[in-house]
Structures are given as structure tokens and as C-alpha cells.
Structure 1
Amino acid sequence: MAGRGGVFRDHHHHDRQQWDGVVPSECQPHPSIHRLDAHLRWVPACEPLHADIDAKKVCGVGPGMAFANKVRECAGEVGLVPCAVGGTAIKEWARGEHLYESMVKRARESVKGGGEMKGLLWYQGESDTSTQHDADAYQGNMVKLIENVRQDLDLPWLPIIQVAIVSGDNKYMEKVREAQLGMEIPNVVCVDAKGLELKDDHLHLTTKSQVQLGHMLADAYLQHFGPSEPNSHAAP
């Protein structure tokens, strides 16, 4: 979710990575899209959305801006609250853990000015595909995460859109995918990343795939949770 689209290994320093700086048209900033930065301030949103959040790694294009640009056409103002940290296992998002508490704090802060929390986008799980124990525990951990977030934000029906992973350790990837695609919880929807193109690292999505995923997330959001009244400008 933090976005590694366009991040490549520096040819001179193999241990170093850099972002190519390419921002597709679908990910361009827009006056009605804002992001909550690491200091809990609203700033204009632009790629890389997670630059100051997943700060220990090089961030590039993720699905967030493509999602926001598609949703804003129906929703008007959009506030993004990036919280992702790449390479984290779901147990690191348990209640009481730093990542979880930080996410809840940021979410609470984001609505203080009068906004409304409209949904949570969740794309994670590759780190849980290496051992049978982690893969078996994934579904229970994810159910718990959803319960915790809804309880702590006092939003029992908070919409959640999860991405079924497309990479990771082949040993238990299918097990984690099954858990993601099989969540039978109200207001939890899953989009499948299968078929999206991966970078040469066979782990992260390319910039182009990140845009596609952002659009899939937006379509799922608008279809399941979008404004229910028919849009006057929409063709029948």
C-alpha cells in the first residue's frame, strides 16, 4: 500500500534505491484531494503519498492517488490518511502495537475538523506467506483487526476494502489469499490483484499496476459504499 511503483535499484549503489519520479496522469494532484501528513496536518496530496510515513524506505507510486482521483468525481473533497509501512506482518497491526495505535490516532485526528471516515483500504499480507503458522493465523488476525478498528473509531459499519495479494512466498500465498477472498463480514469487500503486473523483484506492483489497483479500489468503493442517490448526470 505504501507504493513502490517506479522505485528501482540504483545502478551505481546496489544497496540504494531511488524513485524514478514518474507520476501518471491518473495520479496527479488535485485541489480537492488532501493528505494527513506525519505531523497530523492537512496538506495537498501528491505522490509519493507515504514518503513521510513509510519513511525508512524509498516510496514511489501506490494506489492512493489513482483511487482518490476516481472517487472525487463522485465524492467531492477527499482526505487521505496514509498509514502503511511496507514489509510488515499482520501481527504488527495488533491492538497495542505501535503501527496499529498510530493508525487509530491518525484516523481520529483526521475527522477532528469535521470530516467523516468513509473507509479503510487494506493491502498487506505478503509477509504472512512464509510459514504455515502465519498463514493459518491470518484470517483470525484480520477479523480481529477489523473488529478493533471499528470499535476504537466507534464506527461499527466502517467500510473496508481489502486487496487479495498477488505475490509473496508461494508456499502459503494461496492460504492467505483464501482468507482475504473469503471474509464474510458486513461491509468488507475484497478486490483481487491477481493478474496485475509485478516489477522485476516479483514482489511489488509496477506503477501501471498501482494505477489499475487504485481504480479497482475506487470502483469497489463506489459500487458498494458510494452515494446511493442516482447521479443526475449519469446516463441511465
Structure 2
Amino acid sequence: MATTTDTDPIHTDPPPNKQIFILSGQSNMAGRGGVLKKLRRWDGVVPPEAHPHPSIFRLSAKKHWEAACEPLHADIDTKKTCGVGPGMVFANGVRERVGTVALVPCAVGGTAIREWARGEKLYEEMVKRARDSVKGGGEIKAILWFQGESDTSTEHDADAYQGNMEALVANVRRDLALPSLPIIQVALASGLKYTDKVREAQLGMKMENLVCVDAMGLELQEDNLHLTTHSQVILGQMLVDAYFTHFAPPLSNECHSSSH
């Protein structure tokens, strides 16, 4: 198997009909599964559901396509140690039905929703990466969003969460010229004092083509904040189910073009 280094990545362009998914939010989307907090290193364990596959690609921090593998966010969320997130599990779960999957990691740990407002660095970089991802062909199919822990520490931030998230959804759809872009949001599994208030906002949002999966109850690491590797596998599969239930065209073995 070929190996790469940070100075010698293998750039592989996916086919032009690729299905693109944006991964965004904070640390649980970036992935902390298997990260040993005290040692500040990842244990390197990749569950079978998150293994690389020739039809799964990722857009690197330098905006080159390459074969996707864990940790997906290593060159994006650079101030922390990244491990297993839900992205590769999701990609493996959808690839057999959708074909080539192209992931665009954008999540950064410890970031509040206000840092994802239009005009802020994180938001603008996410939009720029999304636009770059379609330059060689392909279609952005959904944004997978897992964020909010950083908004649970004060009542003010928790109260403002729903309005800020609704603005983010509206802005990113406008800026990408995709008015019906599907968004799959994850309701928090952890947080601080006002977690319930942020979760209530996440679970209660009523916007077209915005659905929510609930991570509450998934096993957390000993920091009571980050999902374990096993939990990330479950979450990735929940995201697959949500995508196919709400957004993917149904499977069919027959042509409906003239079946009336």
C-alpha cells in the first residue's frame, strides 16, 4: 500500500460525476474518536466501517483531491489532535448507492456558532472550499453539521442559537446558489449548563430540507464531551439513514419515464 507524507501527498482527481458532502461544525464532527486526551495523540484504530475505499475522496486543506482516510480533519482542525469522526462511516454507507463520494472537511474544534456567521473566517473558508469542490464537476448533495457544544456555557449564547443557525443555513444556501441544499444537523450529545436549551433549538428547527439526528445517549469519552470511536460509527450510520430517508431518490429497478 502506498504511503504518503505531509510533503508528498498523492493527488487523485475523482470522476466528474462525484457526489459532494460538506462536513462542518466543531470537534465531534472533526473527530476525536480514539484520541487519548492525556497523551494528546490518536490511538490509530480505524473501525472497519471507516476504512478507506477507492471511491471515497477528500478535499485537502490545500484544496487538492486525495484518497480519503481517517483522520479526515487532520490538516483542517490543526490546533487539536484529530481522530475518528462520522465522515468516513457516512461515506462508506452511501457510496454503494451514490457512486463516488467526495468529502469536504471544514470542522474546527471549540468553535461557537457566531464564528460561523457570514463574513467570519470559518464561514468564508467553508464556502470557498465548497465552491472549489465542484470545479472539476460533481454536485454538492448535503452539509453534515455537528456543532453547538461551545454555545452551551451561557444562557445568552443558547438563546441565540436557533436564530444564528437559521441564518447560517439561509446564508450558505444563498452563497452556494443552492436554495434547497439539504442540511443534516446533529443534536448535541454533550455540553455545559445550557445543553438542553441548544438541543431544544436544534430539534425544533422548522426549515425546508433541514433534518436533525439526535446524538444524545451515544457513549462519550471520559471527558464527557467527545464521542468514542464506537459512537462515531453509530452516528455515521444515523447520518446515512437520515440522508436516504429524507434526501436520496428511492432505489428502483425499473424506468418510470413512461409508466402511466
Question: In which range does the TM-score fall when normalised by the shorter chain?
Answer: over 0.9
The Cα shift of 1:230 comes to 2.3
Q: SS of the counterpart of 1:121?
A: strand
Q: SS of the counterpart of 1:118?
A: strand
Q: For residue 73 of structure 1, what is the amino acid of its counterpart?
A: E
Q: Mind listing any 5+ residue stretches in structure 1 that lack a counterpart?
A: 11-15
What do residues 38-69 of structure 1 show as CA deviations (whole Å, max 9, x unaligned)? 01010000000000000111000000000000
Identity of aligned residues (%): 72
The change in CA–CA distance for 1:231 and 1:67 in structure 2 (over 3 A counts) is farther
Residues in 1 aligned to 2:218 and 2:67: alpha-carbon distance in whole angstroms: 29
Q: For residue 148 of structure 1, what is the amino acid of its counterpart?
A: N
- Quote the RMSD (CA, aligned, Å): 0.9
Residues in 2 aligned to 1:107 and 1:55: alpha-carbon distance in whole angstroms: 19
2:14 matches 1:6: no
Alignment of 1:148-227 (within 5 A): 148-169=171-192, 171-227=193-249
Name segments (4+ residues, structure 1) moved above 6 Å: none
**Which residue of structure 1 aligns with residue 122 of structure 2?**
99
TM-score, structure 1 as length reference: 0.94
**Which residue of structure 2 aligns with residue 118 of structure 1?**
141
2:118 matches 1:57: no
Q: SS of the counterpart of 1:81?
A: strand
The Cα shift of 1:208 comes to 0.2
What do residues 186-223 of structure 1 show as CA deviations (whole Å, max 9, x unaligned)? 10000000110000000000000001000000110011
Q: SS of the counterpart of 1:55?
A: coil
Alignment of 1:8-47 (within 5 A): 8-10=36-38, 16-47=39-70
Residues in 1 aligned to 2:132 and 2:253: alpha-carbon distance in whole angstroms: 31
The Cα shift of 1:166 comes to 1.1
The Cα shift of 1:228 comes to 3.1
Q: Mind listing any 5+ residue stretches in structure 2 that lack a counterpart?
A: 1-28, 255-260
TM-score, structure 2 as length reference: 0.85
